[in-house]
Chain A
Amino acid sequence: MPIEEPADPSRRQFARAMVLLAATAPLLPACGSGRLVLPAAVPEPDTPLLPRLEDAEPQPVSPETELLFQLVRHRYGAFLSPEQLEVVRKDIDAVRSAAARLRRIPLGPDDPPAAIFRAYRGGE
């Protein structure tokens, strides 16, 4: 069975970058003060000029938060000041903490998402 290509190629690149990013996790600094290190196979970011973080005061966050933060910095860093990046880092950490709390709630395979998909048939 053929696998459907994503409509937007950049999404595919983004997904590949995510996979590689996870695979290279040990290469990343535990607390973000350095530039994100990406393997050569990953396209250069659209926004190559990353803001310096030296002036901000990064708080300790989990390695998982740090990975996701580096992804944000990689993709959107040119839009954000060091102070804003630090806010984003805290936001991501808050989401990771919330997600960790949700993992304590037991779920079974028969607990589907509370969202309904309906097959579409035009004109009805």
Chain B
Amino acid sequence: MYPEDVLYLPVRELAAGIAAGRLSPVELTLSYLERLERIGPSLNAVVTVLRDQAIEEARRAEAEIREGRYRGALHGIPYGVKDLLATKGAPTTWGAAPYRNQVFDYDATVIRRLREAGAILVAKLAMVELAGGLGYDEANASFTGPTRTPWNPRYWAGGSSSGSAAAVAAALVPFAIGSETSGSIVTPAAFCGVTGLRPTYGRVSRYGAMPLCWTLDKIGPICRTADDCGLVLAAIAGPDPLDPTAVDRPYRYPPVPEIRPPFRIGVPRGATDRVQPEVRANFEASLEVLGRFCTVVHDVELPDFPYSDIAELIIDAESASAHEELIESGRVQELTAPGSRTGGYGGMVILAKDYLRAMRIRGLVERALDEVFAQYDAIAHPTRATVAYPIGVPFREAYPKYRGGHPAMIPAANLAGLPGIALPNGFGENGLPTSLGLTGRAFEENRLIAVAAAYQRETNWHLMRPPVT
């Protein structure tokens, strides 16, 4: 078994060790499996450990590398995946009791691409039931129980890619795959103190992923560093005949030519209104760090739209349609969270004209936001207004004073399909991490990664380890 010092290394460094023959994919896999099985249950982070399959894949990878057939940075690297991606022969539960025995006979495109890159799937990771699409107001919203942030077990890991973020934070895996409709990668990344990248809508195929909202769903990596996010995104991005929304737009990492400072960063007016004091202080400290290699422009005016209203109406309508059979049958009552059992019914009676109006306004939103975002390498903001929510307390009662900065960046960016990255930038109350958010223009993931990687070269928040052993 490898020691913690190895298991907390970024993918980039693990890959260098494997390529040089210093690290064994089999030993790495066994080491992460041991942590998944020993620590995973206490965090409620894991749904299924794929021990036998993972060891077999690791042995194959090790043999290939030994024979000189090295495929690249992910070859021989273990990883976990949010349990909403179809995985041939293994349960894919969508975090929901009605689907706990669901097994697909095919792999999601993302799983297939990672296998082709030589990565080793070691676990299906916990998630909020149905990715939260039918609504929930508490951490206990999965048939596997509330996932705990490794920084403080009395607090939630965030959702809906809960297990993906918690598993990376506790070094149960070196990277994981999550998905985001409106906040489900960046929120758990923030609450668990890891780095999460939400790609541009259409950058990554959703074939084999549970649909929540066809026009908003995105799949992306959760890693220890921004640089790792680029490595993983390069393996999973690209067009796919099985998903017509996956765009044929090349993605290459590292980018050629390299994207170098100085960068131009915008900070929206009101970005720190109604956020916790520690969130504000850590964000301001982050801006000072960014100021070493960026021009920081304050009080940027973003277009004024009711972003949350638009996003919620679209998500409610599409998620009710996607899960219509579950709602119609009444089996929605088998879900864990009381909010999930009732949340779909409102979506069943959204008028078509209201849905279409929201989608028409969405066209205005994406054009208006692009005009602003085109002037900056990134827009910086606190990822979340608060640290992680306590388990056992309704979300609305957790931090009622702190409703978040203006505008609501998560729904705004998701409506427009814009990429975003969340990276740890300090700690707030109860020893819980806070997070810096960077949001960019469509298809500018590499610009965000370049800014984030430069920030992480200047800081060590991403190297901190939570108190789990």
Contacts and interface: CB of A to CB of B under 8 A. Distances in A.
Interface in A82-124: 84, 87-88, 91-92, 94-95, 98-99, 101-103, 105, 107, 111-115, 118
Nearest to B310: A102
A102 B366 contact: no
Nearest to B343: A91
A95 B313 contact: yes
A30 interface: no
A28 interface: no
Interface string B321-336: 0000001101011000
Interface string B207-232: 00000000100000000000000000
B371 interface: no
B345 A72 contact: yes
Contact of A95 (B350, B363, B364): B350
B212 to A, nearest CB: 16
B359 interface: yes
A38 interface: no
B345 A88 contact: yes
A80 B364 CA distance: 38
Nearest to B362: A114
- Secondary structure class of chain A's binding surface, majority of residues: helix
A115 B339 CA distance: 29
B252 interface: no
A68 interface: yes
B180 to A, nearest CB: 18
A49 to B, nearest CB: 13
B351 A99 contact: yes
Contacts of A118: 244
Q: Which among B339, B345, B347 has the highest number of chain A CB atoms within 10 Å?
A: B345
A8 to B, nearest CB: 11
A13 B255 CA distance: 56
B312 interface: yes
Interface string A59-70: 000000000110
B313 A99 contact: yes
A84 B339 CA distance: 9
A68 B349 CA distance: 6
Interface band, chain B: 35 or more
Majority-rule SS of B interface residues: helix
B309 A112 contact: no
Given A91-B343, A113-B356, A98 B364 contact: no
Contact of B357 (A68, A76, A79, A107): A107
Given A99-B313, A99-B354, A114-B366, A107 B346 contact: no
B348 interface: yes
A71 interface: yes
Contact of A115 (B215, B316, B347, B350): B215
Nearest to B415: A114
Contact of A111 (B215, B346, B360): B360
Contacts of A72: 345-346, 348-349
Given A99-B354, A115-B215, A118-B244, A88 B342 contact: yes
A2 B399 CA distance: 58
B361 A107 contact: yes
B366 A91 contact: no
A71 B366 CA distance: 34
A98 B215 CA distance: 19
A102 B309 contact: yes
A72 B76 CA distance: 52
A111 B358 CA distance: 11
A79 B333 contact: yes
Contact of A71 (B313, B347, B349, B360): B349
Contact of B346 (A75, A79, A94, A101): A94
Contacts of B362: 113-114
Contacts of B364: 105, 107, 111
B341 interface: yes
Given A112-B360, A114-B359, A98 B346 contact: no
Contacts of B350: 95, 99
A87 B342 contact: yes
A103 B358 CA distance: 9
Report which residue of A102, A107, A112, A118 has the largest number of chain B beta carbons within 10 angstroms of its beta carbon: A102
B70 interface: no
A91 B359 contact: no
Contacts of B358: 99, 102
B409 to A, nearest CB: 19
5 closest pairs, A vs B, by CB?
A91-B346, A113-B359, A79-B330, A98-B309, A114-B362
21 contacts: A72-B345, A72-B349, A75-B348, A76-B328, A80-B342, A84-B341, A87-B338, A91-B135, A91-B342, A92-B349, A95-B312, A102-B306, A102-B310, A102-B357, A105-B361, A107-B357, A111-B360, A111-B363, A113-B356, A115-B359, A118-B244
Given A87-B339, A88-B345, A91-B343, 6 more contacts: A84-B341, A95-B312, A101-B306, A101-B309, A107-B357, A115-B215
Interface of A: 68-69, 71-72, 75-76, 78-80, 84, 87-88, 91-92, 94-95, 98-99, 101-103, 105, 107, 111-115, 118
